[in-house]
Amino acid sequence: MVRRCSYKDCRSDERYLTTDQQKKIKFHSFPKPWKPKTVDAAKRWAAALGREDFTIANVRRWTHVCSKHFVGERGPTSTYPDPIPHQELLKKSRAQRMI
């Protein structure tokens, strides 16, 4: 199965990771909502994606989020286990464009 990022407006796809920058991207499996220990994490991740049509009911075993959407762009850590919410990334990118 080809891994693609589920984040809104992200086009990361492992088939097209050709440049050195893109080769640094890793794909992280979505927390499984059918496991009691990870239901809350799955809800937080689904809310962070910024997609109105996406809920935990859409999560499959092949649902992934790429490392670009985590603090430090390395994926989930014990300090920052969830992706950065889409709205926060939009604010950050808008602020960078204004500089």
Q: Is 6 among the domain residues?
A: no
pLDDT at 97: 53
Q: Is 38 among the domain residues?
A: yes
Q: Is 40 among the domain residues?
A: yes
Per-residue pLDDT tens digits for 38-95: 999 999 999 999 899 999 999 999 999 999 999 988 899 999 999 999 877 666 655 5
Q: Is 3 among the domain residues?
A: no
68 half-sphere exposure, CB direction, 13 A CA radius = 19
Q: Is 18 among the domain residues?
A: yes
Per-residue pLDDT tens digits for 26-40: 999 999 999 999 999
Q: Is 1 among the domain residues?
A: no
Q: Is 4 among the domain residues?
A: no
Number of domains into which the chain is organized: 1
Q: Which two tokens stand for residue 11?
A: 């086009």
- Domain span at residue 79 reads 14-98
Q: Is 94 among the domain residues?
A: yes
From its phi and psi, is residue 71 left (phi > 0), alpha (psi between -120 and 50) or beta?
Answer: beta
